[in-house]
Amino acid sequence: MRRVHLVSLLILLTCLSGCVSKEVVEQNPENRQYSFTATTLDSNASVEAEFNLRERVQLNPMILFWVSTGCHGCHDWTDEFRSTIENESLNISSIVSIHRYADFESEQKLDDVYGTHNNSSHPSPWTVAIPTQNTPVSDFNTGMIVDDSSIYEAFNDPVTPTIQVVNRNGEIVWTSKEYWPSDDAMDEVLQALADAS
């Protein structure tokens, strides 16, 4: 008798179970497109005083490289990007470093690490943008300010190092998964940039 009750209970539970369909429902979140304008590191004199993402990516897709001063992976990636530019596998206008923690790390410390002067430990000859938590974010297509999102939220809360490739439409089309650079990891970045063209 107990066996009959047990079998009946199992059949009843099977009938009431939730996810029995093999069909996979994919959610396609709206592909958000944002832009921002921020001041740039002074010592990188060969670049503009203000960085505007929308203006730059309309010329060509870009690598957004989110950095902090104490991030050892960021330091190594910076050195790799510089070498890649020096061997002409990457155009200097196709990358921007973005200071992720400008609210906590000083511009002087940023300059000591990523500036272009002789004393910088990991010089970055490309633009280094310095947004803050209060930097306005705008809709890429309309230019209207987006009130309900910080720059960090708009760009998927990047940690450091995060490398993103943004296409000419302002869409993040690829994001890195590697803390440390390697030949394979750099090839992935360059391929993602080429695919975004």
Q: Flag whether 56 is in a domain.
A: yes
Q: Flag whether 80 is in a domain.
A: yes
Q: Flag whether 172 is in a domain.
A: yes
Q: Flag whether 191 is in a domain.
A: yes
Q: Flag whether 9 is in a domain.
A: no
Can you give the CATH number for the domain in which 154 is found?
3.40.30.10
Q: Flag whether 124 is in a domain.
A: yes
Please give, one letter per residue, the 3-state secondary structure of the chain.
CHHHHHHHHHHHHHHHCCCCCCCCCCCCCCCCCEEEEEEECCCCCCCCCEEEHHHHHCCCCEEEEEECCCCHHHHHHHHHHHHHHHCCCCCHHHEEEEECCCCCCCHHHHHHHHCCCCCCCCCCCCEEECCCCCCCEEECCCCCEECCCCHHHHCCCCCCCEEEEECCCCCEEEECCCCCCCHHHHHHHHHHHHHHC
Q: Flag whether 18 is in a domain.
A: no
Number of domains composing the chain:
1
Q: Flag whether 173 is in a domain.
A: yes
- Domain hosting 123: range is 32-196
Q: What's the whole-model pTM score?
A: 0.83
Kindly give the confidence (pLDDT) of every residue in the chain, 197 residues in length, as a single tens digit, with 9 standing for 90 and above.
Answer: 555 554 554 454 444 333 332 333 333 345 679 999 999 998 665 567 899 999 999 999 999 999 999 999 999 999 999 999 999 999 999 999 999 999 999 999 999 999 987 789 999 999 999 999 999 999 999 999 998 889 999 999 999 999 999 999 999 999 998 999 999 999 999 999 999 98
